[in-house]
Amino acid sequence: MPDVDDIQDFTQGALSTMMQAAPERSEALRKLFDDHRVRVRHTSLESFRQGEVVDPSPSTIMGVIQFPPVMHTVAWLLAHGGWEAMRNYGAAIMSFHLVGAAFSGGDIEAALTRFPDAARCDEIIDCAVQNVHGVEVPPPAWLPNISDTSEDPDTNRQYSAVKELWLIAQCWFFLHELQHILLASEGEHFPDFRKEELACDERATAWLLDGVDFYSDQRPEEPSDKVRGKRAMGILVGLFCIGFLSDPDGSPSHPPLRERINVLLGQVGAKDAAHFWHFAAGLLFVLSRDRKSSQFPAFARIRDIVLLLVDMI
């Protein structure tokens, strides 16, 4: 593991990202960083992955959160790919769902054969998965950069929405690692490392979702259901970013990705979350194994469809 003094400090950048994603938590976040002397340091993806495998709580070392810069790119790819998956695969799933008929993954793909953007979803998300596994694949040339704008107002709205998901995903990543530091400071120990990971997931998610109503009360133009849905989408992206760093099927130190996603779905619960379930359905469908052979029963609720897809990743 590299010496922390030899790694670029990213503390203020991380704190700024978190405060943009959850402005209602700004004062509390700054206080936590000051009280616990939290530092965020850049590290290589390989060093971070080794830390995740060898020590399930690497951020407890000297109050340091290790952050591989490639996660900026991975989060952007998954946020953009997830957004496009919602608009394509998620929309197709919703169409079958609303009709009330049974359908298969093959039916979904057949419905999208005339829509080239569906293929782009796969390209973006495959690029993200390869990068998080350490294969340096450049983003597609047609993919917009984070700072890009367009003369078309609707396109700009899409860009802004994806950028928000990108910020929330990284915020959740930092919040998850911060929970390891807080648990250590509280003297709370988990005999099963996997339980600690789930606890950190749950606490990080609560930090973002529990503040939704307060945030919306201060900004009436942003209804709580849309804010909750947007944050849940970003959390799902962040969860995939961190979940792919270890074995998605689970290990002695990390629970299976399926279990971690189910914890998030339980925290979203029955509360209105705007387009979150469509987003989750689209992204999970793209990432699912053998998706063409998947079968969905008639009159299934969108939540049940998502749960079926979780079992397929």
| pLDDT of 225 over the 80 cut | yes
Structure tokens, 110: 């057949």
What is the Cα–Cα distance from 68 to 224, expressed in whole angstroms? 32
Instruction: Convert the pLDDT of each residue in 98-151 to its tens digit.
Output: 899 899 999 999 999 888 788 888 999 999 989 888 888 999 999 998 888 888
Structure confidence at residue 253 as a pLDDT band (50, 70, 90)? confident
User: How many distinct structural domains can be found in the chain?
Assistant: 1
Structure tokens, 233: 């989408």
What is the Cα–Cα distance from 308 to 313, expressed in whole angstroms? 10
* N residues, the chain: 313
Work out the average pLDDT over 54-83.
77
Structure confidence at residue 250 as a pLDDT band (50, 70, 90)? confident
Q: Closest Cα partner for 242 from 210, 281, 205, 278?
A: 205
Q: Is residue 71 part of a domain?
A: no
Contact 106, 291 (CB under 8 A): no
Structure tokens, 82: 């997830």
Structure confidence at residue 4 as a pLDDT band (50, 70, 90)? very low
Instruction: Convert the pLDDT of each residue in 26-48 to its tens digit.
Output: 999 999 999 999 999 888 877 77
CA distances to 154, 155, 298 from 149, in Å = 11, 8, 42
What is the Cα–Cα distance from 94 to 106, expressed in whole angstroms? 15
What string of DSSP letters covers 8-73?
-B-HHHHHHHHHHH-GGGHHHHHHHHHHTT-EEEE--HHHHHHHHHH-S-GGGGGGEEEE-THHHH
- What pLDDT is stored for residue 147 in this prediction? 86
The DSSP bridge partners found for residue 296 are 103
| pLDDT of 244 over the 90 cut | no
37 CB-contact burial (10 Å; exposed 0-12 / middle 13-18 / buried 19+): exposed
- What pLDDT is stored for residue 254 in this prediction? 86
Contacts of 10 (CB under 8 A, 6+ apart): 40, 41, 42, 67
- Rg of the chain over CA atoms, in angstroms? 19
Instruction: Convert the pLDDT of each residue in 60-73 to its tens digit.
Output: 445 888 888 888 99
Domain housing 215: 148-310
Work out the average pLDDT over 45-52.
69
| pLDDT of 50 over the 70 cut | no
Q: Is residue 4 part of a domain?
A: no
Contact 75, 59 (CB under 8 A): no
- 51-65, 128-142, 143-157, 197-211, range with the lowest pLDDT: 51-65
Q: Is residue 110 part of a domain?
A: no
Q: Is residue 214 part of a domain?
A: yes
Strands (E), the chain: 39-42, 64-67, 103-104, 295-296
The pTM for the full model equals 0.92
Q: Is residue 205 part of a domain?
A: yes
| pLDDT of 88 over the 60 cut | yes
- 33-47, 55-69, 184-198, 213-227, range with the lowest pLDDT: 55-69
- 55-64, 106-115, 230-239, 278-287, range with the lowest pLDDT: 55-64
Work out the average pLDDT over 278-299.
92
DSSP letter for 184, please.
H
Structure tokens, 182: 């807080």
DSSP letter for 273, please.
-
Q: Is residue 235 part of a domain?
A: yes
- What pLDDT is stored for residue 228 in this prediction? 97
Average pLDDT along the chain:
88
Q: Is residue 38 part of a domain?
A: no
Q: Closest Cα partner for 309 from 300, 297, 296, 299?
A: 296
Structure confidence at residue 53 as a pLDDT band (50, 70, 90)? very low
Q: Is residue 15 part of a domain?
A: no
| pLDDT of 167 over the 70 cut | yes
- What pLDDT is stored for residue 29 in this prediction? 96
